Amino acid sequence: GDSVTQMEGPVTLSEEAFLTINCTYTATGYPSLFWYVQYPGEGLQLLLKATKADDKGSNKGFEATYRKETTSFHLEKGSVQVSDSAVYFCALKAAGNKLTFGGGTRVLVKP
């Protein structure tokens, strides 16, 4: 079946540091790939997405590129802020509208 694997956290960074969260997937066919963010006390929000190979999703300074050859969708941000502290989920959507989530990565950015 479909699955998503992402690096375990927590990831602790200083403000303005570079952030990478690795995500790899297993799926049949050609899934769409997503990153969701969950801020403390809030629901999941879509951060960015990519629907086909080599697409790059970007939002709020975050980027991720759909790499079919490595089945990866790593999330990056060049300079994190304290407000980026949250839990980040990588997810895929294959056939239909069901989302398969990775385990989540907690990111803590310290001033």
Task: Summarize as ranges the residues that interact with other proteins (CB under 8 A).
Answer: 36, 41-46, 89, 97-104
Q: Which amino acid is at 103?
A: G
Q: Look at residues 23, 99, 106, 27 and name the one whose alpha carbon lies nearest to residue 65.
A: 23
Q: Is 1 exposed, middle or buried (0-12, 13-18, 19+ CB in 10 A)?
A: exposed
Nearer Cβ to other proteins (15/56): 56
Smallest distance, other proteins to C-beta of residue 36, A: 8
Least distance CB 71 / other proteins (angstroms): 18
Q: Which is nearer to other proteins, 100 or 109 (CB)?
A: 100
In the complex, least distance from residue 108 CB atom to other proteins, rounded to whole angstroms: 14
- The size of the chain, in residues, is 111
Shorter beta-carbon distance to other proteins: residue 14 or 45: 45
Quote the CA–CA distance of 30 and 97 in Å, as a whole number: 13
